[in-house]
Amino acid sequence: MDVTRAKCPKCGRWLAAGGVLTIAHLEIPVYTCDECLVTVDLFGQKHELPLTFCLDKEGRAVDPADPETPLEF
Ligand SMILES: [Zn+2]
């Protein structure tokens, strides 16, 4: 599987890996789509952040904070 780029689950744009996250000694590429903002609740305040995701072993986009749940839009 080519992990240097991934398709945004929301807008379908191809994105280059923006960094690497290390989870349980595995290096997982992280992708960020600047076109797609998601509203995140941080300490009771709403923030709009670029959509950030990783790919699971089946190539589905998942939330880095919750890798068990595929992202759906
Ligand atoms: Zn997008």
The Cα 63–Cα 24 span in angstroms is 16
Per-chain mean pLDDT for the chain: 90
Output the CA 35–ligand 1 centroid distance in Å: 5
**pLDDT value at 37 more than 70:** yes
Output the CA 20–ligand 1 centroid distance in Å: 19
Bridge partner list, 45: 42
Structure token pair of residue 2: 């080519």
Q: What is the pLDDT of residue 44?
A: 94
Output the CA 43–ligand 1 centroid distance in Å: 25
pTM of the model: 0.81
